[in-house]
Amino acid sequence: MVSDGIATVGSRFAQTHDESVDRRDANRAVAVSAVGLLITGGVELALAIITGSVALLGDALHNLSDVSTSAVVFLGFWVSKRPPSKTYPYGFERAEDLAGLGVALVVWLSAVFAGYESYRKLVGGEGTSHLGIGMAGAALGIIGNQVVARYKAVVGKRIQSVTLQADAKHSWLDALSSLGALIGLIVVASGRTWGDPIAGFAVTLFILHVGWEVTREVVHHLMDGLDAGDIDAARDAACAVSGVEAATVRGRWMGRSLLIEVEGQVAARTTIESATSIGAEVAERVHDAVPAVRDVRFIPAER
């Protein structure tokens, strides 16, 4: 396809069998983990209301925030399947980033809420009741996150998914937040009522961390932030094609699809036909060099 001197070649939407099986396994791991955390967070929330524990409240909000980020990933998959339209010729994949901004807002608000409730309880000196079931709720938070962490780590290692392994580490660290809530309740049991609100502040820090991570990731995507290593690899791959003297590489994100634009210098009087075949080879090599790439655009420029 040639239009306005820009050749678009090398769309490779078809996945090999192994890749699609791995993706399905990864999706299942994310979905199962989200359901596990949803139950954990839901039970914690109910127990937080019964006991009046702000640390448990914060921990519940944290777990539910993590569930909502997973939900956005699935929403993104679902929305991005819609074919491009005349009004949205690039498709609907950015809907995921838009939903991500919504999630970020909810996470920041829950941090403010948990922090404010902790402050109110610390100043007001209100007590915490039913300490036993409160501690059981915090213990559930530890166990829930640890189980999810192990599961993601095992699947992540098997299919060699860096994202899933990083996610496993996140869940492992989240067990520390639940541990904080448990310690707070133990301190309360020893007669010091400030134990719970102080633990509530510590848990609030964890929620702020989630807010920061989610916001940073969404903004990075919306600003078309790329890995410098990917840009270098794409340029090297393009320059390895015979006929390409030098190349300038840029990239943009469409949701989770990476579009790479290669402006390659070719000899003067190169025919459109050979420029197109050079472009096809550039696209193929860039696809191999940068696995995240969905589409490559080759723009021939005169040397």
State the residues that interact with Zn ion by CB under 5 A: 66, 174
* Interior angle at CA 177, CA 172 and CA 181, nearest 5: 140
Cα 278 from Cα 172, distance rounded (Å): 48
Cα 231 from Cα 226, distance rounded (Å): 7
Nearest distance, CB of residue 99 and Zn ion, angstroms: 18
Nearest distance, CB of residue 292 and Zn ion, angstroms: 24
Is the distance from CB of 253 to CB of 290 less than 8 angstroms? no
Is the distance from CB of 235 to CB of 249 less than 8 angstroms? yes
Question: Edge to edge, what strands does the sheet with 257-266 contain?
Answer: 2-3, 6-9, 293-302, 257-266, 247-254
Cα 3 from Cα 220, distance rounded (Å): 31
Nearest distance, CB of residue 271 and Zn ion, angstroms: 56
Is the distance from CB of 215 to CB of 69 less than 8 angstroms? no
Nearest distance, CB of residue 203 and Zn ion, angstroms: 11
Pairing of strands 6-9, 247-254: unpaired
- Using the minimum distance from each CB to Zn ion, give the nearer residue, 174 or 196: 174
The CA-atom distances, in angstroms, between 22 and each of 136, 151, 276 are 36, 15, 33
Nearest distance, CB of residue 102 and Zn ion, angstroms: 18
Is the distance from CB of 203 to CB of 58 less than 8 angstroms? yes
Nearest distance, CB of residue 68 and Zn ion, angstroms: 11
- Using the minimum distance from each CB to Zn ion, give the nearer residue, 33 or 118: 33
Is the distance from CB of 137 to CB of 44 less than 8 angstroms? yes
- Using the minimum distance from each CB to Zn ion, give the nearer residue, 174 or 230: 174
Cα 278 from Cα 235, distance rounded (Å): 14
- Using the minimum distance from each CB to Zn ion, give the nearer residue, 60 or 249: 60
- Using the minimum distance from each CB to Zn ion, give the nearer residue, 63 or 128: 63
Nearest distance, CB of residue 287 and Zn ion, angstroms: 34
- Using the minimum distance from each CB to Zn ion, give the nearer residue, 92 or 206: 206
Nearest distance, CB of residue 177 and Zn ion, angstroms: 7
Query: How many C-beta atoms lie closer than 10 Å to residue 153's C-beta?
Result: 18
- Using the minimum distance from each CB to Zn ion, give the nearer residue, 77 or 172: 172
- Using the minimum distance from each CB to Zn ion, give the nearer residue, 44 or 66: 66
Q: How many residues does the chain have?
A: 303
Q: Which of 39, 102, 48, 56 is nearest to 75 (CA)?
A: 102
